[in-house]
């Protein structure tokens, strides 16, 4: 037997193994540092799987730390949702969750250290003035007129900033680095700004808050994070990250950047996702059309499918775009293995089997999941009146239509073959009922002596035991492959007006006893999950994904 090929290490694993081999660290500590200003999306899932996965692989730990340095946009709701998402994906952080706000006192002390070293100063310039003095990547910036304030004056002003003596925006604390550096982040970056805003954890204790670049690396260092893994847009921030650590002479956390996840037909900006929520385009952050983890969960995605997707796309140094079909393939593959099969008719018309005895009910056996060798079977009732899909019947079918029509025969799933004899139209000319005869010697699982040839099998639901169901069919939220890449158009211009269709149909009786967390394949219709809007009176199901990828085929016809 051939040996199984060992999976090659990604570049981050190579770095970690090198550091451990050299004895640089006895064990690794990573962190996942979300800002609680929105719900996590599938891009964050990639980071979660990476950080927690590395810690598990190398026997280390991962800290969950909320970078809550901007109280204007942060909320406890987001904190709670983030914790729920991480746990749902199957991961557990170290002994407790951490917050950058836990370190506000220490970070303030770090700022004092830099002021005393002559490496930070209080600037009275406005934000616009600071921007104008910053220069361009090819043109050096200008020194602030307040750059040469004495250490004593800077210490006094910074303390008075903390004490609330100055108006918001009137002063900032800046690092004193190099206004001619080709790296714009090193041109005397802002470390603190005055912002009177109630913080969800520290209340009104502070009226000055550290900028992300000043809080991030120091928080990593305080927690002894060995490998601080960020997305690629922070690569140009790394020299500043290292500069702060070097000048403060604190634990040297190492920042490593990887390419973020980019999915076509998808928006990955929390600011833009918030706009969709606020303008009522979607029904909240957990709308099943949203790429948020909570939206994917509500739609019926499984943690395993998302982790498998993240494993498939891998870790790279260069930006690329992943086809959303791969995400859909990952959940389809997993659901095919675990989802129980059920029969649900979404667009029902009634079939009356005229020669089936009135009042007779047969309990037919049907397996729950043919992909699972340990799967059990269930019983479904069969009687004279059933519902079938309206799309399974045509009055004048074309040659390539192999389902039911006048004089045509089909097999009812796990039941009998039937032949259509007649039909009835309603006042608008739509088919209201069809009338068939069944062939008693064609029962599934028994010898078929009917002599009737059929070319298709359709699903059905018994009328008497039918369960009312609402079906929500979701499609991609955007029609354009890159909705936020157009300079002359807003991403909202590419919304897919057909991203949601709601149908009312009937499901088999077993759905009454199923659990909300169960996953389903509705025969011939796709994979579905029960929604929280369900009630005993009407069950509500979200389509997670179709049985096959029909999007590209559909696009090709347009």
Q: Is residue 136 part of a domain?
A: yes
Q: Is residue 3 part of a domain?
A: no
CA distance 529 to 41: 20
Q: For residue 536, what pLDDT band results from cuts at 50, 70 and 90?
A: confident
- Summarize the confidence of residues 165-190 as an average pLDDT: 97
Whether residue 112 has pLDDT greater than 70: yes
Whether residue 272 has pLDDT greater than 70: yes
pLDDT value of residue 94: 85
Closest CA to 82 of 46, 50, 55, 45: 45
Considering the domain architecture, whether residues 454 and 477 belong to the same structural domain is answered as no
Whether residue 2 has pLDDT greater than 50: no
Tokens 């730990």 identify what position?
61
Q: For residue 513, what pLDDT band results from cuts at 50, 70 and 90?
A: confident
Q: How far is CA 224 from the centre of its chain?
A: 30
Q: For residue 4, what pLDDT band results from cuts at 50, 70 and 90?
A: very low
CA distance 506 to 348: 7
Instruction: Output b/e per residue, 172-181; b: 16+ Cβ within 10 A.
Output: bbbbbbebeb
Q: Is residue 541 part of a domain?
A: yes
Report the percentage of the chain scoring pLDDT > 70: 97
Q: Is residue 364 part of a domain?
A: yes
528, 542 in Cβ contact below 8 A? yes
- Sequence-distant (6+) residues with CB within 8 A of 110 are 214, 218, 244, 248, 250
Q: For residue 514, what pLDDT band results from cuts at 50, 70 and 90?
A: confident
Closest CA to 504 of 390, 366, 347, 391: 347
Closest CA to 115 of 166, 160, 150: 150
Considering the domain architecture, whether residues 311 and 451 belong to the same structural domain is answered as no
Q: Is residue 4 part of a domain?
A: no
55, 29 in Cβ contact below 8 A? yes
196 is an active site residue? no
What CATH number did the domain enclosing 512 receive?
1.10.1160.10
Considering the domain architecture, whether residues 475 and 526 belong to the same structural domain is answered as yes
140, 180 in Cβ contact below 8 A? yes
Catalytically annotated residue among 193, 260, 519, 543: 260
Considering the domain architecture, whether residues 207 and 252 belong to the same structural domain is answered as yes
- Summarize the confidence of residues 427-437 as an average pLDDT: 96
461, 387 in Cβ contact below 8 A? yes
Sign of CA dihedral 413, 416, 418, 423: negative
Domain boundary pick from 459, 482, 517 = 459
Tokens 């406890």 identify what position?
76
pLDDT in tens, 448-479: 999 999 999 999 999 999 999 999 999 999 99
Q: For residue 537, what pLDDT band results from cuts at 50, 70 and 90?
A: confident
CA distance 543 to 531: 10
Q: How far is CA 535 from the centre of its chain?
A: 26
CA distance 56 to 63: 12
CA distance 329 to 549: 8
Q: What share of the chain is helix, strand, coil (3-state, %, to 5)?
A: 30, 25, 45
Pairing mode, strands 227-231 and 254-258: parallel
Q: For residue 198, what pLDDT band results from cuts at 50, 70 and 90?
A: very high
- Summarize the confidence of residues 360-384 as an average pLDDT: 95
pLDDT value of residue 106: 98
Considering the domain architecture, whether residues 61 and 133 belong to the same structural domain is answered as yes
16, 57 in Cβ contact below 8 A? no
487 is an active site residue? no
Instruction: Output b/e per residue, 380-397; b: 16+ Cβ within 10 A.
Output: bbbbbebbbbbebbeeee
Q: Which tokens go with 47?
A: 């980071």
Q: Is residue 356 part of a domain?
A: yes
185, 241 in Cβ contact below 8 A? no
Rg (CA), the chain: 31
Minimum mean pLDDT among 44-53, 265-274, 327-336, 512-521: which range?
512-521
Considering the domain architecture, whether residues 333 and 352 belong to the same structural domain is answered as no
Domain boundary pick from 212, 238, 258 = 258
Considering the domain architecture, whether residues 20 and 158 belong to the same structural domain is answered as yes
CA distance 55 to 48: 11
Instruction: Output b/e per residue, 462-484; b: 16+ Cβ within 10 A.
Output: bbebbbebbbbbbbbbbbbbebb
Tokens 């970070």 identify what position?
107
Domain boundary pick from 396, 429, 459 = 459
Whether residue 332 has pLDDT greater than 50: yes
158, 112 in Cβ contact below 8 A? yes
What CATH number did the domain enclosing 404 receive?
2.40.240.10
pTM: 0.93
Structural domain including 105 reads 12-258
Catalytically annotated residue among 35, 97, 235, 362: 35
Considering the domain architecture, whether residues 385 and 278 belong to the same structural domain is answered as no
Considering the domain architecture, whether residues 57 and 117 belong to the same structural domain is answered as yes
Whether residue 1 has pLDDT greater than 80: no
The DSSP 8-state label assigned to residue 235 in this structure reads G
pLDDT value of residue 6: 63
Tell me the C-alpha to C-alpha distance, in Å, between residue 219 and each of 68, 245, 505. 11, 10, 54
Q: Is residue 90 part of a domain?
A: yes
Give the total number of structural domains in the chain.
3
Q: For residue 92, what pLDDT band results from cuts at 50, 70 and 90?
A: very high
Report the percentage of the chain scoring pLDDT > 90: 93
Catalytically annotated residue among 46, 171, 193, 270: 270
pLDDT in tens, 114-128: 999 999 999 999 999
Q: Is residue 464 part of a domain?
A: no
What CATH number did the domain enclosing 205 receive?
3.40.50.620
270 is an active site residue? yes
Q: How many CA atoms lie within 13 A of 498 on its CB side?
A: 3
Considering the domain architecture, whether residues 392 and 492 belong to the same structural domain is answered as no
CA distance 235 to 215: 17
pLDDT in tens, 25-78: 999 999 999 999 999 999 999 999 999 999 999 999 999 999 999 999 999 999
CA distance 103 to 262: 33
Tell me the C-alpha to C-alpha distance, in Å, between residue 365 and each of 226, 283, 414, 472, 519. 58, 40, 7, 28, 20
């Amino acid at each position: 037997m051939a040996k199984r090929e060992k999976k090659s290490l990604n570049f981050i694993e190579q770095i970690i193994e090198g550091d451990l081999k050299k004895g640089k660290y006895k064990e690794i500590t990573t962190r996942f540092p979300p800002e609680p200003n929105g719900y996590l999306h599938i891009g964050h899932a990639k980071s979660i799987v990476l950080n927690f996965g590395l810690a598990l692989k190398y026997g280390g730990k991962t800290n969950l730390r909320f970078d809550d340095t901007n109280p204007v946009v942060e909320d406890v709701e987001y904190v709670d949702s983030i914790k729920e998402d991480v746990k749902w994906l199957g991961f557990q952080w170290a002994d407790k969750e951490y917050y950058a706000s836990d370190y506000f006192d220490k970070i303030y002390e770090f700022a004092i250290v830099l002021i005393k070293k002559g490496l930070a100063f209080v600037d009275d310039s406005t934000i616009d003035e600071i921007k104008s003095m910053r220069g361009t990547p090819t043109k050096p910036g200008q020194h602030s007129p307040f750059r040469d304030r004495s250490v004593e004056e800077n210490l006094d002003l910074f303390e008075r900033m903390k004490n609330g003596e100055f108006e918001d925006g009137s002063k900032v604390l800046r690092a004193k680095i190099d206004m001619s550096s080709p790296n714009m982040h090193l041109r005397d970056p802002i470390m603190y700004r005055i912002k009177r805003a109630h913080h969800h954890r520290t209340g009104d204790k502070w009226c000055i808050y550290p900028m992300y670049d000043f809080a991030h690396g120091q928080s990593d260092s305080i927690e002894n994070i060995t490998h601080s893994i960020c997305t690629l847009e922070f690569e140009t921030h790394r020299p500043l990250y290292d500069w702060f650590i070097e000048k403060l002479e604190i634990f040297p956390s190492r920042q490593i950047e990887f390419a973020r996840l980019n999915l076509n037909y998808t928006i990955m900006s929390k600011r833009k996702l918030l706009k969709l929520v606020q303008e009522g385009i979607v029904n909240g952050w957990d709308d099943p059309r949203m790429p948020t983890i909570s939206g994917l969960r509500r739609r019926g995605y499984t943690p395993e499918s998302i982790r498998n997707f993240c494993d498939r796309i891998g870790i790279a140094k260069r930006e690329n775009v992943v086809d959303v079909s791969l995400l859909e393939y990952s959940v389809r593959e997993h659901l095919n293995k675990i989802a129980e099969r059920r029969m649900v008719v979404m667009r029902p018309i009634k079939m009356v089997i005229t020669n089936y005895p009135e009042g007779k009910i047969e309990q037919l056996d049907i397996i729950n999941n043919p992909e699972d060798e340990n799967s059990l079977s269930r019983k479904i009732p069969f009687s004279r009146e059933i519902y079938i899909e309206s799309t399974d019947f045509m009055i004048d079918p074309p040659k390539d239509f192999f389902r039911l029509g006048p004089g045509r025969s089909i097999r009812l799933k796990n039941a009998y073959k039937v032949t259509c004899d007649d039909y009835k139209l309603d006042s608008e000319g739509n088919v209201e009922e069809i009338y068939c005869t069944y062939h008693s010697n064609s029962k599934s699982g028994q010898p078929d002596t009917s002599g009737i040839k059929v070319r298709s099998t359709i699903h059905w639901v018994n009328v008497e035991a039918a369960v009312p169901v609402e079906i929500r069919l979701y499609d991609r939220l955007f029609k354009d492959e890159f909705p936020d890449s157009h300079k002359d158009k807003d991403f909202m211009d590419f919304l897919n007006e057909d991203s949601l269709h709601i149908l009312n149909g009937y499901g088999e009786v077993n759905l009454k006893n199923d659990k909300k967390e169960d996953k389903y394949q509705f025969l011939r219709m796709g994979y579905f999950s029960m929604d929280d809007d369900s009630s005993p009176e009407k069950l509500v199901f979200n389509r997670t994904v179709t049985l096959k990828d029909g999007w590209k085929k559909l696009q090709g016809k347009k």
